[in-house]
Amino acid sequence: MAPHQPPPTLPGKGKRIAMMTSGGDSPGMNGAIRAVIRTAIERGCEAYCIYEGYEGLVQGGNLIRKMGWSDVRGWLSEGGTLIGTARCMAFYERPGRLQAAKNMVLNGIDALVICGGDGSLTGADKFRAEWPGLIEELVQKKELTAQQIAPYKHLNIVGLVGSIDNDMSGTDATIGCFSALARICEMVDYIEATASSHSRAFVIEVMGRHCGWLALMAGVACGADFVFIPEKPRADDWQQEMCKVIAEHRKIGKRKTIVLIAEGAHDRHGNKISAEQIKVLLSDPTKCGLSLDTRITTLGHVQRGGTAVAYDRYLSTLQGVEAVNAILDATPETPTPFIAINENKITRKPLVQAVIDTKEVAKAIDAQDYDRAMKLRDTEFSDFYEAYMTTTATSLNTDLALPAQKHMRIAIIHVGAPAGGVNAATRAAVAYCLTRGHTPIAIHNGFAGLARHHDDKPVGSVREFDWLEVDGWASRGGSEIGMNRELPEESGMAYIAELFAKYKFDGLFLIGGFEAFHALSQLRKAQTEYSSLCIPMTLLPATISNNVPGTEYSLGSDTCLNELVAYCDKIKQSASASRRRVFVIETQGGRSGYIATLAGLSVGAVAVYTPEEGVHINMLAADINHLKDVFANDSGQSRAGRLILINEKASKVYNGKLIADMIREEAENRFEARDSVPGHVQQGGTPSAMDRTRAVRLAIKCIEHLEKFEDRSDAKLKEDPLSSSVIGIKGASVVFSPMKDVEQNETDWKNRRPKDEFWMYLKATVDTLSGRPAVPPPH
**371 is annotated as an active-site residue:** no
One-letter-per-residue 3-state SS of 243-295? HHHHHHHHHCCCCCEEEEEECCCECCCCCECCHHHHHHHHHCHHHHCCCCCEE
Q: Angle, to 10 degrees, between the axis of helix 557-577 and the axis of helix 689-707?
A: 170
Nearest residue to 27 (alpha-carbon basis) of 151, 174, 169: 174
Q: How far apart are CA 513 and CA 542, in angstroms?
A: 5
Q: Which of 125, 165, 172, 675 is catalytic?
A: 165
By beta-carbon proximity to ligand ATP, the closer residue of 211 and 220 is 211
- Residues 183, 305 contacting (CB under 8 angstroms): yes
CA 686, 449, 513, 536 torsion-angle sign: negative
Q: Please, what is the minimum distance in Å from the beta carbon of residue 304 to ligand ATP? A: 9
Is 165 annotated for ligand binding? yes
Smallest gap from residue 491 Cβ to ligand ATP (A)? 55
Minimal CB distance to ligand ATP: which residue? 119
The total of other beta-carbon atoms located within 10 Å of residue 749's CB is 12
Identify which of residues 122 and 521 has a Cβ nearer to ligand ATP in the complex: 122
Helix ranges (H only) for 443-585 are 446-451, 467-471, 488-491, 493-503, 514-525, 557-577
Nearest to ligand ATP of 110, 165 (CB atom):
165
Give the whole-angstrom CA distance, residue 772 versus residue 760: 16
Task: Please identify, using beta-carbon distances, which residue of 32 and 663 lies nearer to ligand ATP.
Answer: 32
**Residue 163 marked in a binding site:** yes
Minimum CB separation of residue 112 from ligand ATP in Å reads 13
State how far the Cα of 319 lies from the Cα of 655, in Å rounded to an integer: 33
Does 209 count as an annotated binding residue? Answer: yes
Binding positions for ligand ATP, rule: CB under 6 A: 22-24, 54, 87-88, 91-92, 116-120, 122-123, 126, 163, 165
User: Cβ neighbours of residue 182 under 8 Å, at least 6 residues apart?
Assistant: 309, 562, 688, 689, 690
543 is in an annotated binding site: yes
Q: For residue 223, what is the enclosing H or E element?
A: none
| 702 alpha carbon, distance to own chain's centre | 20
Handedness of CA 237, 239, 245, 250 (dihedral sign): negative
The annotation status of 342 as a binding-site residue, yes or no, is no
Cβ proximity to ligand ATP: between 71 and 130 the closer is 130
Smallest distance, Å, CB 88 to ligand ATP? 4
Minimum CB–partner distance for residue 64 and ligand ATP (Å)? 16
Question: Does 775 count as an annotated binding residue?
Answer: no
Of 113 and 516, which has the nearer Cβ to ligand ATP?
A: 113
Which of residues 29 and 410 has its CB atom nearest to ligand ATP in the complex? 29
Burial of 745 (0-12, 13-18, 19+ CB in 10 A): exposed
How many other C-beta atoms lie within 10 A of the C-beta of residue 711? 9
Closest distance between ligand ATP and the C-beta of residue 670, in Å?
Answer: 45
Which of 54, 505 has the CB closer to ligand ATP?
Answer: 54
| Min dist. Cβ of residue 431 to ligand ATP (A) | 33
581 is in an annotated binding site: yes
30 is in an annotated binding site: no
**Helical residues (DSSP H) of 634-761, grouped into ranges:** 656-667, 689-707, 714-719, 739-741
- Give whole-number Cα distances, 478 to 61, 538, 679, in Å: 55, 21, 16
CB of 629 to ligand ATP, least distance (A): 40
CA distance 641 to 605: 10
Q: Which residues carry a binding-site annotation for ATP?
A: 24, 87-88, 117-120
Q: Which residues carry a binding-site annotation?
A: 24, 87-88, 117-120, 163-165, 200, 207-209, 263, 295, 301-304, 485, 543-547, 581, 588-590, 648, 674, 680-683, 752
Q: Which residues carry a binding-site annotation for substrate?
A: 163-165, 200, 207-209, 263, 295, 301-304
Residues with catalytic function: 165
Q: Which residues carry a binding-site annotation for beta-D-fructose 2,6-bisphosphate?
A: 485, 543-547, 581, 588-590, 648, 674, 680-683, 752
